[in-house]
Chains A and B, each alone.
Chain A
Amino acid sequence: AQSVTQLDSQVPVFEEAPVELRCNYSSSVSVYLFWYVQYPNQGLQLLLKYLSGSTLVKGINGFEAEFNKSQTSFHLRKPSVHISDTAEYFCAVSEWNAGNMLTFGGGTRLMVKP
């Protein structure tokens, strides 16, 4: 069975600083990987996804993530954050043969301070 671990429940960072949100997954088969963002009192919005091919994927709002198969990781990065990036971020995994079932990590709250 697939599982996802987000190593940090909260990440405080100053505005314009770089940030990395960590995600590790466990699966015995090939997977699709996703990052979602949830702004306060809203639903989840897809930031980016990895399906296959290049291990570095770029998403919306200047975010990117790198798939590392040997370390089973899919960390999210942004070189310079804004106050508006304050939100909760969820990593998720879907196994290729799992009938589209999506498993989420526990979430990381990114708090950008001025």
Chain B
Amino acid sequence: EAQVTQNPRYLITVTGKKLTVTCSQNMNHEYMSWYRQDPGLGLRQIYYSMNVEVTDKGDVPEGYKVSRKEKRNFPLILESPSPNQTSLYFCASTPRGADGYTFGSGTRLTVV
């Protein structure tokens, strides 16, 4: 089944403890992206990647890192999480923008 897989689905952590949210797609898509969803703000792009080793900042990149060493994987790294990063995170991929993105099921992160 064609899909984007994120792990974990739920995560509670403490301020300052480094964490990684994994994202993997099995559709051979070139473009991948991370979004965070907050009530009333819709989805805001954190980082995106146009291909292996090619990444760029979205609208809200502060406090996040990404890497794209393989085409299928696009992990999101929070080196020192803070409570304002408590949010619902989505990974998405597409072969090209006009096709629309396929989204993962989301990761609900709580930083205390």
Contacts and interface: CB of A to CB of B under 8 A. Distances in A.
A43 B43 contact: no
Interface string A81-106: 00000000010101000111111111
A100 B48 contact: yes
Given A46-B101, A90-B43, A106-B40, 11 more contacts: A43-B90, A44-B92, A44-B101, A44-B103, A94-B97, A99-B48, A100-B50, A101-B58, A102-B101, A106-B41, A106-B42
Interface residues of B, number: 28
Interface string B61-101: 00000000000000000000000000000101010111011
B105 A100 contact: no
B96 A100 contact: yes
A101 B48 contact: yes
A49 B48 contact: no
Interface of A: 4, 6, 9, 32, 34, 36, 42-46, 49, 51, 90, 92, 94, 98-107
B60 to A, nearest CB: 12
Among the interface residues B40, B94, B98, B105, which one has the most CB atoms of the partner chain A within 10 A?
B98
Contacts of B24: none
